[in-house]
Structure 1
Amino acid sequence: MARIPASGTQHAIRAGHYEAVIASVGASLRSLTFGGRDLVVPFDADEVRPSHRGETLAPWPNRVVDGQYSFGGVDYQLALTEPTRGHALHGLATWLEYEAIDKGPDHITLATVISPQTGYPWRILVRTTFSLGVDGLTQTVVASNWSDTPAPWGTGPHPYLVAGPGRVDEWTLELPADEVLAVTDDRLIPTGVRPVDADDAARFDYRSARAIGAAEIDHAYTGLIRGADGLTTVRLTVPEGAGVALTWDAACPWVQVHTADRPDPAVNRIGLAVEPMTCAPDAFNAARYDYDAGLVVLEPGASATASWRIAAIG
């Protein structure tokens, strides 16, 4: 039996100047290049995926506070997978093996099943397609509820975008969002939505493109500004103008942005996490909040779809 790398079976796809490698564990975007230039922070095939790089988040993105929630009149407790903050982080599909069910030179479709378990007693089929074209890499996620009762659901990607040489501090960000989710400093627990320009230092306002500098961000944005085509696009560029863009539609009314601040200098701020999300952080506890957290409820036999696209600029 051939040895399988730590990140799972490797699926390479190509189209034009784009090349991508998707690893089967977590349906993870392991690398994406345009003309040999990295558009995301890559990791090695035989490396246990670090910092959730490129994984597909399901059946929730971001955090469930304390791993606790109520749904359909029943209280649930999830395993705490973010021990430093005491939350359930980024869903249950993180380390699941996805099987290839369709593959061509420029696309791959992977599938896995989230089985009923303690804290999440629903069976969800997750299918995700990565497709390369002249407009970049499009990922589509389709979730189907194979259970007899409604299930809470959310998804999103976790790429660390790379504009070019250097680090986050030197790059320019354009983020068309009017509102940001305030959180506690220690555990990132949501406290409410506020305008991006409410902060005196304008720390969160990137509606007009500007350098990120030393700003430290690990926050979700909403009130997204969409173009005439109904899409929202985040752009990350170097001073010379080249860079990377991430675009998505109304299926994701939230986006998490993280400047990837790490104590290890080797990986500190080497990419900007931009994570379109179908729901807000802690959306499984949507009733706690006075804003629309966007929780998707999958009825038995029903499906939900979300997609996003990463493309080179310049």
Structure 2
Amino acid sequence: MTRTEHLISFGPYTAIATARGGALRELQHDGRDLVVSFGEAGSIPDYRGVICAPWPNRLADGRYSFDGKEFHAVVNEQDRGTALHGLVFGTEWELQERTASSVRLGTRIEPDAGYPGRLDVSVEYELRADGLHSTVRAVNVGVHAAPYGVCPHPYLVAGPAPLDEWTVQIPAAEFMEVSEDRLLPQGTAPVQDHSFDFRTGKVLGDVEIDHAFTGLAANADGLAAVRIHDPSGTGVELEWDTALPWLQIHTADKPAGPSRLGLAVEPMTCPPDAFNSGTDVLRLAPGDSHEARWTIRAISR
């Protein structure tokens, strides 16, 4: 029987990675959830914790052109007519390496009508004293160049209070305006004097967000971070490197069923519909590789 669940631990941290989508199913610090988890079996709700590759976010109508050829990916977001979150969230990833505190899973993307390249994609989850370090690596093992983008899709949990009461800090000077019906990009705008200005941190309240941000402020080490605090004093931080110049934030609003359970924080290599706009799309020639890294950790006031 193929093992699909992988529990790792280090100090006060534990995490579970699953073969389903290479996803982070659970992350805890001293028994406290840092992400919205999901069950051991069945489909993954709301793409929680999956790896989105070879594109993050959505493609309009699933259509794009690359090197003079047209491609049509499967439209899996029917109500908006888009191809959402890439090609690997629904695949079974294989175990490549495991220790007590780390696990690496991998999958392959094959060329077809929706994508020109053959890529080997792996994700490593490693717990250390300062949190869960994740690395996604893509290698073009095919004979044709391919467009590429990637992001993680965790829903962060600051503590026991409702989402509306969390204090959120987002280090972004601009956000991407989107169409109301399809959430497709319509250009960037400054967050200054907008409800999306969370640069100094503020209580989220009833603000609804499902937008990309950019103009990210980084520290001296080139790292940017979103920090979220619960009124109780607990919190969580997601920190990432310069390979991810875009950031999707989603307050997980649902018209029916459980809503606003966590805050989706998705550092991205490129913005929504990038295969059509060309903005920050990576071109992987045969033999080329790309790595992106991020860390999730518990914080407190």
TM-score category by the smaller chain? over 0.9
2:164 corresponds to 1:169: yes
Q: Helix, strand or coil for the counterpart of 1:51?
A: helix
Q: Where does residue 290 of structure 1 map in the other structure?
A: none
- SS in structure 1 opposite 2:276? helix
Aligned equivalent of 2:236 = 244
**Cα displacement string for residues 10-57 of structure 1 (whole angstroms, at most 9, x for unaligned residues):** 000000000000010100100000000000000110232100000011
Instruction: Name the SS of the counterpart of 2:47 in structure 1.
Output: coil
Q: Displacement, 1:294?
A: 1.2
Distance 1:261 1:13 in 2: 31
Please identify runs of 4+ aligned residues in structure 1 that moved more than 6 A.
none
What is the identity, as a one-letter code, of the residue corresponding to 1:258?
H
Q: TM-score, normalised by structure 2?
A: 0.97
In structure 1, the partner of 2:181 is 186
Equivalent-residue separation in structure 1 for 2:249 and 2:96 (angstroms): 32
Given the alignment of the two structures, is residue 285 of structure 1 paired with residue 276 of structure 2, yes or no?
yes
* Pick aligned residue for 2:284 from 298, 307, 312: 298
Whether the aligned pair in 1 keeps the contact of 2:161 and 2:231 (CA below 8 Å) is: no
Which blocks of at least 5 consecutive residues in structure 1 are unaligned?
A: 288-292
Give the CA RMSD over aligned residues. Answer: 1.1
Instruction: For 1:65, give the aligned amino acid.
Output: A
SS of residue matched to 2:275: helix
Q: TM-score scaled to structure 1, two decimals?
A: 0.93
Which residue of structure 1 aligns with residue 265 of structure 2?
A: 274
After the TM superposition, which residues 1-314 of structure 1 pair with which residues of structure 2 at under 5 Å, given as runs?
Answer: 2=1, 9-197=4-192, 202-265=194-257, 267-287=258-278, 293-314=279-300
Aligned partner letter, 1:111: G
Sequence identity, in percent? 48
Distance in 1 (alpha carbons) for counterparts of 2:281 and 2:167 = 31
By how many angstroms is 1:203 displaced? 1.5
Distance in structure 2 (CA, Å) of the matches to 1:301 and 1:286: 25
Counterpart amino acid of residue 134 in structure 1: A
1:57, 1:163 → 2: CA distance? 23
Whichever residue aligns with residue 99 of structure 1, its letter is E
Residue correspondences, number: 300
Cα displacement (A) at 1:148: 1.4
User: 1:111 aligns to what SS in structure 2?
Assistant: strand
Q: CA deviation at 1:128?
A: 1.0
